[in-house]
């Protein structure tokens, strides 16, 4: 059995379309959300055990990446947030490069600093925070040694 045998495509058409484009082209280059670049997270689903692939906005600084669990300002976290919280490591593809990263949720000043970077990379995040009463989680992906 290969990792692709364990892959469960998203129920959302736009996610499936982005993942297909990235997989077929071998790169995240040229795949965007609202004209802005994305990276591709690959993780195991906490409930299903299946491989999940999710494109997210590219928020990179010094080799680390922030992922913002905004769900467009919905009142609930996206499913992938719970997968990340249950994982100690995931893979992330940026362009043609895929590496393994450790995951941790940010708070305090560190979250504020990465939130600013995230809003600079994708300004809609600021609007999403206004739309919801929950504090939108910011998770940091740091390269493994």
pLDDT of res. 5: 67
pLDDT of res. 1: 37
- pTM assigned to the model: 0.93
Written as tens digits, the pLDDT of the chain (145 aa) is 345 569 998 889 999 999 999 999 999 999 999 999 999 999 999 999 999 999 999 999 999 999 999 999 999 999 999 999 998 899 999 999 999 999 999 999 999 999 999 999 999 999 999 999 999 999 999 999 7
Which residue ranges make up each domain of the chain?
Answer: 3-143
Distance separating alpha carbons of residues 76 and 74, to the nearest angstrom: 5
pLDDT of res. 98: 97
The CATH architecture of the domain made up of 3-143 is Roll (2.30)
User: HEC profile for 61-128?
Assistant: ECCEEEEECCHHHCCCCCHHHHHHHHCCEEEEEECCEEEEEEEEECCHHHHHHHHHHHHHHCCHHHHH
């Amino acid at each position: 059995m290969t990792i692709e045998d364990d892959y469960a495509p998203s129920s959302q058409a736009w996610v499936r379309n982005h993942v297909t484009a990235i997989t077929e082209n071998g790169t995240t280059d040229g795949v965007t959300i609202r004209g802005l670049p994305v990276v591709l997270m690959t993780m195991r689903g906490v409930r299903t055990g299946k491989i999940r692939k999710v494109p997210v906005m590219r928020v990179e600084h010094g080799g680390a990446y922030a992922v913002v669990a905004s769900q467009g300002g919905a009142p609930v976290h996206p499913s992938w947030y719970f997968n990340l919280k249950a994982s100690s490591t995931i893979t992330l593809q940026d362009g043609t490069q895929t590496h393994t990263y450790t995951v941790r949720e940010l708070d305090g000043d560190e979250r504020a600093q990465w939130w600013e970077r995230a809003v600079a990379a994708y300004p809609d995040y600021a609007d999403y925070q206004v739309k919801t009463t929950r504090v939108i989680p910011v998770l940091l992906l740091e390269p493994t040694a």
